[in-house]
Structure 1
């Protein structure tokens, strides 16, 4: 399964080489050209008979950790790469460095903690990675300062049509772009699989500047909070209600006319959809829409529970309906004057 292939690859922000090569090998038969730009974005190009350029964007990178020092006892201190809830880290398994050394994130046992320590969340300074080394010199045989640390998670099916995996943000978006590239359209399609989104949307601006599209669609995995005890007005998206169309977030205020036209296309084609109902967070649209003289940009997201953690959960029908919606948007771009 495509999502299994994509999510089980370990490629934290700034270390996207493995996922880039995998996507390149998958899309090559379906496109006219595929290349890597100077910052590391993978650009897949598919020709069309009309002149206007359409850019699709999904980021390849995932959140993770980085080794910042090695203790005398052989354990590793680390820093986050991207936004991670530190409360989910303790006792989780990881892979460290280019050799993917097995490790476990450890902390002082609860039996030895003082009462005041038990009442506060563990901070990064309280955590370490245990790779089974007996000393600093022993650890240095296998890892180095600056090594990336990846979540160690397998893809699995849950229940009836649900999936759990790491890195659904945004390998699920990458999967959508791959499926879209299998289709033929009248317009040239530039699919940008971007780097370093999780640390500041860095790849997307470079890709948009070089491509210079007339219209851009960002495909993202986004927060779903449709779980017990969630405050209703903070439930951004819900699994099973289809792709989420963004209105506003921390980096973009989306054009209402474009949003209305996307909703119209979804309604006409019987595609379930919802709005992303909170304004926190951001995505590659934040850089793309500001590039050069400005680019018409929309963002369509697939809801994912427990995002930025070792295990996220998504619903496959939301994924397939996102593919249908983007396909319909591209086919109706001229009729709806989206360019």
Structure 2
């Protein structure tokens, strides 16, 4: 079974792209008893192999990224406010007014602010402020006071709790892609049919640098990316615009903005899901992307598939996913680990 306590632990950890050390160390401790090989490469990817009951006729890699979207500090004003840039794709609409934590070793609390609405001109009220018009307020009154606790290049993170609500829903930051990381850890805890490789990769949110280097090192024949993907089944979304259905099971993609997925692997995923009674669906819109777009072209090429958790409000302070969908993703990944080496 999928370990939701582990997911909570991982979601509450901070690891914006390029600053994933604390998340990686947490995962290292979780998989150390189960890995037959394990190392960290120069970029920060955690790569592991677990021996199975049989030697694999094809080398299969399962990848999940450890990083999350967030912010990086770019300046400090004379009155102690912090300017910042986003790390990864974040819409300004989900930023304003949010609580954040700035820094890693000695974190400080802050709030993302902008000019108050009663001070805006009529023209300014018609549009959302861009991030370069926002700032992080850490309660400092002067530049010197802020510089005593924050440095340029420090990371900032959404300050979010892990909340279970409704009939099986979870809200937390970084479900994208700590759900994938937790699924891979749970896979390593169980006996495997074949020798299997795992990469807990870095910097996916800024282009997939970690997935590319990890796949180059492992040189797999087949790779499966365990991810989260945006679902659009809100009140006014109809038909294909829903992308995938919240509560509809694991999402297996045929194409996104970066990858055309291997058709036999795509078909196999649905076949094995049907055989084992695992809820499964596809994306009905060509949207998004993940590490598959960098993994598929390394060395002589890699056959790729993606299995994703449907997520509402993705790339915000609170992703929302359903426990049943996360369980379905884990079950399908386990089924693929049993069978892909033969494909």
1:104 and 2:111 equivalent? yes
1:199 to 203, 206, 217: 206
1:21 and 2:25 equivalent? yes
Pairwise CA distance, 1:33: 2.4
Partner of 1:219: 226
1:53 and 2:59 equivalent? yes
Partner of 2:84: 78
2:308 to 301, 305, 316: 301
1:262 and 2:266 equivalent? no
1:327 to 334, 339, 342: 334
Retained in 2: the 8 A contact 1:247–1:256?
yes
Cα deviations by residue, 1:196-244 (Å, 9 ceiling, x for unpaired): 0000010011001110112111000110111111243221111111000
Retained in 2: the 8 A contact 1:20–1:42?
yes
Taking only aligned residues, the RMSD between alpha carbons, in angstroms, comes to: 1.1
Partner of 1:93: 99
Retained in 2: the 8 A contact 1:86–1:122?
yes
1:1-339 aligned within 5 A: 1-48=5-52, 49-51=54-56, 52-98=58-104, 99-333=106-340, 337-338=342-343
Cα deviations by residue, 1:162-219 (Å, 9 ceiling, x for unpaired): 1000001100111111111112223221110000000001001100111011211100
Pairwise CA distance, 1:4: 0.7
Retained in 2: the 8 A contact 1:54–1:187?
no
Retained in 1: the 8 A contact 2:60–2:340?
no
Structure 2 residues without counterparts, runs of 5 or longer: none
Give the paired residue count. 336
Cα deviations by residue, 1:259-294 (Å, 9 ceiling, x for unpaired): 111111111111110002221211011111111111
Structure 1 residues without counterparts, runs of 5 or longer: none
Deviating 4+ runs (over 6 angstroms): none
Q: Distance between the aligned counterparts of 2:168 and 2:141, measured in 1?
A: 45
Retained in 1: the 8 A contact 2:85–2:132?
no
Pairwise CA distance, 1:24: 0.6
Q: Residue 57 of structure 1: SS of its match in structure 2?
A: strand
Pairwise CA distance, 1:327: 1.2
